[in-house]
């Protein structure tokens, strides 16, 4: 069986930053287990091609405290940057390793992947983000329209369709503006105005609205969806009924509660309980990134990696540095 000083689950911004800080602190071996075949799956799968990646996101400005930071750049440059980081720091990333079980046993953890690989480690840092579990609307999605309802952008481009985007955050605004280049787009948001968009996105969505490429339906709430031939009928609470080819929900993500509670992590309300360095109620089990920060951003994920490693060094330095 493989042994490591630290196993990091998830090679997104938080997992990568944790690995970088750990290596720079002289901790080894550090193994990163990633369920997909590339780094940063949220960026690869959920960001549209050419998307601007902003360090100030959801109105959250975070000054870097660790080794990783970035300035506004495209999705593609950001992904190249992260690949470069993994190479420069010679990170031991194992791809296609979806962690299914983390079992605390005899002073160490057994971390087991779907393909049977098990790594024994003194310390485990879980950094799997929240986007594996998108927030769904409260009303049910009828089976007949499921193929027309999306929680991320589809892999194949969409053109000449009538689309509804639901949500009022940066992701909803970016999705609506992006889709509006080739489609007729409407955005429905529960509140009467946007209040948490960053300046760039506020500017872009207002521009699209003025040009008429995105129709804004502010202060609207959806009651239910119904099938309508090969389209979706959207019934709003104010009585309006509109028909679309597809609906995109951009409502954010949820922490993977079943996975974390399965390990024994305690929750406080909707969030896992951690202390100031990300350690859970299970000693030597840490959480980083979107799982623990109040408003998830890449910079906050980078910083949480640094905080976790500082905590590991302060509390368990003798275990991981030999």
Ligand X SMILES: Cc1cc2nc3c(=O)[nH]c(=O)nc-3n(C[C@H](O)[C@H](O)[C@H](O)COP(=O)(O)OP(=O)(O)OC[C@H]3O[C@@H](n4cnc5c(N)ncnc54)[C@H](O)[C@@H]3O)c2cc1C
Task: Give the footprint of ligand X on this chain (CB under 6 A).
Answer: 9-15, 33-36, 40-42, 46-47, 53-55, 57, 98-99, 127-129, 131-132, 171, 289-290, 296-299, 301
Smallest gap from residue 229 Cβ to ligand X (A): 30
Shortest CB 206 distance to ligand X, Å:
18
- In the complex with ligand X, which residue's Cβ is closer, 126 or 242? 126
Q: Which is nearer to ligand X, 27 or 129 (CB)?
A: 129
R_g of the chain, CA atoms, integer Å = 21
Q: At closest approach, how far in Å is the CB of 90 from ligand X?
A: 19
Residue 243: name the closest of 136, 161, 316, 132 by CA.
161
Phi, psi of 307 (to 5 degrees): -65, -40
Give the β-pairing of 30-33 and 92-94. parallel
* Helix, strand, coil percent values for the chain (each to nearest 5): 30, 30, 40
Considering the complex, what minimum distance in angstroms separates the CB of residue 18 from ligand X? 9
The rounded distance, in Å, linking the Cα atoms of 308 and 314 is: 10
Give whichever of 46 and 242 is closer to ligand X, judged by the CB atom.
46
Q: Which DSSP state fits 253? A: B
CA 50 – CA 52 distance, rounded (Å): 6
The number of residues making up the chain comes to 322
Smallest distance from ligand X to CB 149, Å: 17
* Cβ-based nearer residue to ligand X, 59 or 161: 59
**Spatial contact of 57 and 198, defined as CB atoms under 8 Å apart:** yes
Q: In terms of CB distance, is 86 or 242 closer to ligand X?
A: 86
Query: Left if phi > 0, otherwise alpha if psi is -120 to 50, otherwise beta: which for 269?
Result: left
CB of 215 to ligand X, least distance (A): 21
Give me the residues paired with residue 163 across strands: 185, 246
Indicate the residue among 127 and 216 with the shorter CB distance to ligand X.
127
Strand ranges for 41-157 from DSSP E = 52-53, 73-74, 92-94, 99-105, 108-113, 118-126, 149-150
**Given the complex with ligand X, which of 35 and 284 has the nearer CB atom?**
35
Query: Taking the complex as a whole, how short is the minimal distance between the CB of residue 138 and ligand X, in angstroms?
Result: 20
């Amino acid at each position: 069986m493989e042994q490591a000083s630290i196993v990091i689950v998830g090679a997104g911004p938080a997992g990568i930053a944790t690995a970088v800080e750990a290596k720079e602190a002289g901790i080894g071996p550090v193994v990163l287990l990633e369920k997909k075949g590339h780094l940063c799956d949220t960026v690869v799968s959920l960001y549209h091609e050419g998307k601007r990646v902003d360090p100030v996101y959801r109105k959250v400005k975070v000054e870097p405290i660790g080794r990783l930071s970035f300035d506004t750049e495209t999705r593609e440059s950001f992904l190249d940057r992260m690949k470069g980081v993994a190479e420069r720091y010679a990170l031991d990333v194992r791809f296609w390793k979806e962690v299914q079980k983390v079992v605390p046993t005899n002073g160490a953890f057994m971390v087991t992947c779907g393909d049977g690989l098990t790594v024994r480690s003194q310390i485990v840092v879980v950094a799997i983000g929240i986007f594996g579990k998108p927030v769904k609307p409260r009303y049910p999605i009828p089976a007949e329209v499921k193929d027309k309802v999306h929680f991320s952008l589809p892999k194949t481009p969409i053109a000449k369709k009538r689309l509804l985007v639901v949500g009022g955050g940066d992701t909803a605004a970016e999705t609506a503006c992006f889709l509006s280049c080739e489609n007729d787009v409407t955005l429905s948001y529960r509140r009467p105005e946007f209040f948490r968009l960053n300046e760039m996105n506020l500017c872009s969505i207002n521009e699209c609205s003025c040009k008429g490429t995105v129709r804004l339906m502010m202060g609207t709430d959806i009651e239910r969806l119904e099938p309508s031939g090969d389209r979706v009928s959207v019934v709003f609470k104010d009585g309006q009924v509109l028909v679309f080819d597809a609906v995109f929900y951009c409502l954010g993500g949820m922490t993977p509660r079943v996975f974390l509670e399965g390990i024994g992590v305690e929750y406080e309300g909707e969030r896992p309980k951690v202390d100031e360095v990300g350690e859970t109620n299970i000693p030597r089990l840490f959480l980083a990134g979107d799982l623990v920060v109040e408003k998830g951003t890449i910079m906050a994920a980078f910083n949480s990696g640094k905080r976790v490693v500082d905590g590991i060094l302060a509390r368990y330095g003798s275990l991981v540095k030999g």
